[in-house]
Amino acid sequence: MSERAAPVTATEEQRDDQETPSEEPSEADDTESATDAEPTPVTTGAESVVRALENAGVEHAFGVQGGAIMPVYDALYDSEIHHVTMAHEQGASHAADAYGIVSGEPGICLATSGPGATNLVTGLADADMDSDPVVALTGQVPTEFVGNDAFQETDTTGVTMPVTKTNTFSSEPDRVGSDVSEAFALASEGRPGPTLVDLPKDVTNAETDREPDEPRTPDTYDVQERADPEIVAAAAERVENASRPIMLLGGGVIKGDAAEVCREFAIEHEIPVVTTMPGTGAFPEDHELALEGAGMHGTGYANMAITHCDTMVAVGTRFDDRLTGGIETFAPDAEIIHVDIDPAEISKNIHADYPLIGDAGTVVEQLTEAVDESPQATKWRAQCQQWKSDYSMAYDTPEDEPVKPQFVVEALDEATSDRAVVTTGVGQHQMWAWQYWTYTEPRTWVSSHGLGAMGYGLPAAIGARFAADDDQEVVCVDGDGSFLMTLQGLSVAVRENLDITVAVLNNEYIGMVRQWQDAFFDGRHSASDYGWMPEFDTLAEAFGAEGFRIDDYDEVADTIDAALTYDGPSVIDVHIDPQANVYPMVPSGGDNGQFALTEDQL
Amino acid sequence: MTDEQGLDGPAPGERPTPSGRRNKQGIRIDPEVEAKHEPRRTVISALVEHEPGVLAEASGLFSRRQFNIESLTVGPTDDDERARITLVVEEPDPGIDQIKKQLRKLIPVIAVRELEPDAMRRELALVKVNAERPDQVAAVADMYDAKTVDSSPETATFEITGARQKIEAAIETFSQFGIREIARTGTTALARGTDDTAAPAPAESTANEANNTPYTQPADDD
Ligand SMILES: Cc1ncc(C[n+]2csc(CCOP(=O)(O)OP(=O)(O)O)c2C)c(N)n1
Ligand SMILES: [Mg+2]
C-alpha cells in the first residue's frame, strides 16, 4: 500500500518548516532552534547519524537511552524526528518492526551498548525471520575499550550477526553518517530485513563536518528485478495448461507492493488464492476465489487446495515448515512456479520447476503479459467451493459456556473498518485472530510469524499506531501470557496518548502449550496452567489506560464499542473459554491434506 | 469436552489423497525410481571484500546452516581490497547450491563460483616425524618431493605441497616413522587457463544458475 509510504517531499517540507522558529514551544524546554531554512551543517559523528536518518525521511524512532548512545540522543534533541521512549528495548525493536510492516519504510530503534543492545535481539531476530525492514542503532563503548570487557561492552555485531541482514561496526567519524544511510538502504532494498550499526561513543562524539551520503546500497549488492523471460514464457504456458491451479501469496507480495497485480492476475484467470500467514491481506479474504491461509492452522479448504493442485504460482514465500508441513506430502502433484527476489529461497525447501527470480510485482507483471489464455479450471473451482462448505470454520457458541474466542475476534472485526490494523502475541489467540478476522488489505496483519515471539503484540501496536493513518484503528489481539511479557509498554501508550485497543483473550493458560499437552503429552499440564492472572483491566487503569472486562456474550459488542471509542489506550480483559482449541491443525511435519478437525484426529 | 471444541467436516480418512510425493529435498519423485542425491566433494571459491569480520560472517553462515565444510582457506589477492576464500565442501547438489546462494547474499561477498572438477587444487602440509632412521625418512621425502624445513637429532620436518590425495599418501607413508605433529593448510584452488576463478558476474547469470547445477563427475584432485 504505497499510499502509506512516507513521501520524501512531504518530510522535507516538514523539515523545512521546523527549521523556521515556531511559536509553539515544544514540550521539552525550548531551544535555540536554527533560524535558517537550510539544515545546519553537522559538527559531530552523532549529528551526522541523525542527519542520515533525517535525509532518509525518518519521522519516528523507538528506543531507550543509555551511556554509550547518549551522544546520538543529544543530537536527536535538536531533530524533528519524534523519538518514542520505550519501556524496554525489546519493545523498541518490535515497535520499529511493526512500523516497518505498516509503513513499508524501515522502522528505527535505538539502544545503548551491552544490555540495551542484547534486549533488542528478539525484535531483530523476528524482523530477520519475517524480512521486515528495521534499522537498529546501538551505542558501543569507546573504540579503545573495545575488546577489554569494558562496562556494558557486548560484542553487538557478533551477537546480532546471525539475526540481521547485515551489520557494521562504525569506526570512523567521517563515515558514521554514511554507514547509517547505507544500513537504511540495505534494510529496505531487495529482500528487506534488519540492519544494525554499532556506534562507539568516541566515534559519535568526535568532530566531523562530513555530511552523510545518500542512502545507497554498496556495489557488491545486486538485486535482480526481472525474471528470465524464457522461464517466464515456460511458466506462463504451464499456467495456461493447468487444470488445478492455485496462487500461493506470501509476505513478499506485501513487502513488494505486489498485492494489486497479484489480485488482478488471479481474478483475470480465475485462479483460487491461498495465502501464507505473512501474506495475509495480499488477497481479500471475502473474495470468492479466496481460500485464506494454509499451513498448520490454515483453513481446511486452503490445505485441501494446496495438497491437490497441479500448478502452484507461489509468490514471495520461503516455504516455511509451518506452511508446508512434511515436505514429502506438500503439493505433491504440483509443478511449482516460484517467484522470489532472493535466489537462495528458490529450491531451498521445495524444488521450483519454474524459478523466477525478481521483484514480486515486476515478475507477476511479466507473467500477466505472458499468459494469453486462462486455464480451464471450472471443475477445480467448483471443487474448491465444495471444500469451503465441507470444511467450514463455523463454531458453536453454547450460552452456558464461557465466551468463545472466535466470537470475540469476529466482533472486533465487525466493529472496525476494513483497514484496521491487527497485531498479536503468539499462541492460540494469534491463530484465532488470523482465522476469524477477515483481512482484505495488505499491511493490516502484523504478527510474529517466523520467530513466534510472545510479547510482540503491544509494542507492535505502538509501532503500528505511528505508521497507520489516523482513520485506521489499531487493535492488539493478545494472549494473557504474551501480554504479561511486554505490558510495561502500556506506560508508553499512555504517555504518547496512543489510540490503541488491546483485547486480551484471557484463558489463564499458556493455551497453545496446553492444547499440545492435551494432544501429545497425555494432558499433563506441565507449566502451562497459570491458574491465576492479574486483573488486566485494573492493571490497565493503574497505568492510566482505560480498562474493560468481558465475561459474557451479551457484554461483547458494547464493551468492544466502548473500548474502541475511548480516545487513548484501552485494554479489554476478555475471559474466554479456557478449553477452547485451535482447529484445523496439522501436527508438525504432518500431511497438510490430513489436517485434524478434532483432537482425536491428531 | 475436546470433541465439542473441534470443527465439522470429513475426517482425514474420508478425504481424497494425491498420488505424488516429494523427497527430503522437496523435489517431486516417482516413488518407483527415486533419484538419490549423493554428497559430492567440490571446491567453491569466493572473492570478498578484504575487511574485518568477513571470515566470521562466512564461517558463522556455515555452522548456522549446518553445511558440511571440509576445509576453508582465506588469503589476500592481487587487489589489496579483496581476499579469496576457498572452500572444499561435501554436500548433495541442493546443499552445494544453497552454499553458493547463501554466500552470495553476504554483503561483503563480491563473487562466488564452484570450480570445474579439473581446477588446480593445492594444499600444503608440515609434517614432523621421528628421525631415528634418517636414510629411510629421506627416501620417503624424496618420493613425495617433500622439502626439509627443519631437522634435529630427534626430528625431521618436511613441507609437502600438492593435491589432497598426494598429501594424504605422504602422511600415510611417513607414519611408519612415527609422526609427532602435523599442520595442514586446507585446499586452495584456481580455475585453469583463461577461466576466471571468481570474478564478479552479471546478475543475469544467477538467474540461469538458479536451479540447474549440472552434475559433473568430480575428477580426482589433479
Ligand atoms: C518468548 C516466547 N517464549 C515461549 C514461547 C512458547 N510458547 C508458544 S505459545 C505459548 C503460549 C502463549 O500463551 P498466551 O499468550 O496466553 O497465548 P494462548 O495460547 O493462551 O492464546 C508459549 C509459551 C514463545 N512462543 N515465545
Ligand atoms: Mg493464554
Q: What is the pLDDT of residue B37?
A: 80
Which residues of B are less than 8 Å from A580 in CB distance? 5
- pLDDT tens profile A202-227: 999 999 999 999 999 999 899 999 99
Contact (CB<8Å) A347/B11: no
Q: How many CB atoms lie within 10 A of CB A79?
A: 18
- Among all bound ligands, the one having the nearest atom to the CA of A453 is 1
Contact (CB<8Å) B25/A351: yes
Burial of B138 (0-12, 13-18, 19+ CB in 10 A): middle
Q: Radius of gyration over alpha carbons of chain B, in Å?
A: 24
Angle at A373 (CA atoms; ends A371, A375), nearest 5 degrees = 100
Q: Enumerate domains of chain A plus CATH numbers.
A: 2-205 (3.40.50.970), 229-390 (3.40.50.1220), 405-583 (3.40.50.970)
Ligand 1 contact via A427 beta carbon (within 6 Å): yes
Asked if the model's pLDDT at residue B217 lies above 50, the reply is: no
- pLDDT tens profile A446-504: 999 999 999 999 999 999 999 999 999 999 999 999 999 999 999 999 999 999 999 99
Which residues of A are less than 8 Å from B11 in CB distance? 597, 601
- Distance CA(A538)–CA(B94), nearest Å, equals 56
Ligand 1 contact via A129 beta carbon (within 6 Å): no
- Distance CA(A257)–CA(A519), nearest Å, equals 40
3-class SS of residue A435: helix
A377 contact partners, CB below 8 Å, separation of at least 6 = A242, A243, A244, A245, A270, A271
Min Cα separation B184/chain A (Å): 28
Among residues of chain A, what percentage have pLDDT more than 70? Answer: 94
> Cell for A450?
517466523
Of A129, A424, A432, A510, the one to substitute when testing ligand 1's pocket (max ligand atoms within 8 A of C-beta) is: A510
Contact (CB<8Å) B18/A596: no
Distance of CA B139 to the CA centre of its chain: 33
* pLDDT category of residue B29 using cuts at 50, 70 and 90: confident
Residue A461 touches partner B, C-beta closer than 8 Å? no
- Distance CA(A74)–CA(A31), nearest Å, equals 13
Ligand 1 contact via A428 beta carbon (within 6 Å): yes
Q: Which residue(s) pair with A500 in the sheet?
A: A474
Tell me which of 3.40.50.170, 3.90.700.10, 3.30.70.1150, 3.30.1300.10 is the CATH number of domain B120-188. Answer: 3.30.70.1150
Side-chain-side CA neighbours of residue B1 (13 Å): 10
Residue A106 touches partner B, C-beta closer than 8 Å? no
Question: Does this chain's domain B40-115 share its CATH topology with B120-188?
Answer: yes
* pLDDT category of residue B34 using cuts at 50, 70 and 90: low
- Distance CA(A315)–CA(A366), nearest Å, equals 13
Which residues of B are less than 8 Å from A342 in CB distance? 105
Ligand 1 contact via A504 beta carbon (within 6 Å): no
Contact (CB<8Å) A224/B207: yes
Q: What is the pLDDT of residue B158?
A: 97
Question: Mean pLDDT, to the nearest integer, of A45-58?
Answer: 98
Q: What is the pLDDT of residue B30?
A: 75
Ligand 2 being an ion, which residues bring their Cβ within 5 A of it? Answer: A 479-481, 507, 509, 511
Contact (CB<8Å) A600/B57: no
Could you tell me the distance, in angstroms and rounded to a whole number, from the CA of residue A458 to the centre of ligand 2? 15
Distance of CA A445 to the CA centre of its chain: 7
Angle at A29 (CA atoms; ends A77, A66), nearest 5 degrees = 40
Q: What is the pTM of this model?
A: 0.91
Residues B147, B159: contact at Cβ < 8 Å?
yes
Least Cα distance to A305 among B107, B137, B195, B15 occurs for B15
Most B-contacting residue of A146, A216, A220, A509 (CB-CB within 10 A), to test interface = A220
Q: What is the pLDDT of residue B213?
A: 42
Per-residue b/e over A104-137, b at no fewer than 16 CB within 10 Å? bbbbbbbbbbbebbbbbbbbbbbbbbbbbbbbbb
- pLDDT tens profile A177-187: 999 999 999 99
- Please identify every residue of A annotated as catalytic: 89, 151-152, 201, 512
Select from B20, B23, B26 the Cβ nearest to the Cβ of A347.
B26
Hey, where are the domains in chain B? Answer: 40-115, 120-188
Select from A308, A342, A346 the Cβ nearest to the Cβ of B211.
A346
Which residues of B are less than 8 Å from A390 in CB distance? 9-10
Per-residue b/e over B14-48, b at no fewer than 16 CB within 10 Å? ebeebeebbbebbbbbeeeeeeebeebbbbbbbbb
- pLDDT tens profile A530-561: 888 999 999 999 999 999 999 999 999 999 99
Least Cα distance to A185 among A209, A162, A165, A200 occurs for A165
Residue A396 touches partner B, C-beta closer than 8 Å? yes
Could you tell me the distance, in angstroms and rounded to a whole number, from the CA of residue B218 to the centre of ligand 2? 55
The beta strand positions in A229-353, using DSSP E, are: 245-249, 273-275, 290-293, 311-315, 335-340
CATH superfamily placement of domain B40-115: ACT domain (3.30.70.260)
- Distance CA(A202)–CA(A141), nearest Å, equals 8
Q: What is the pLDDT of residue A102?
A: 98
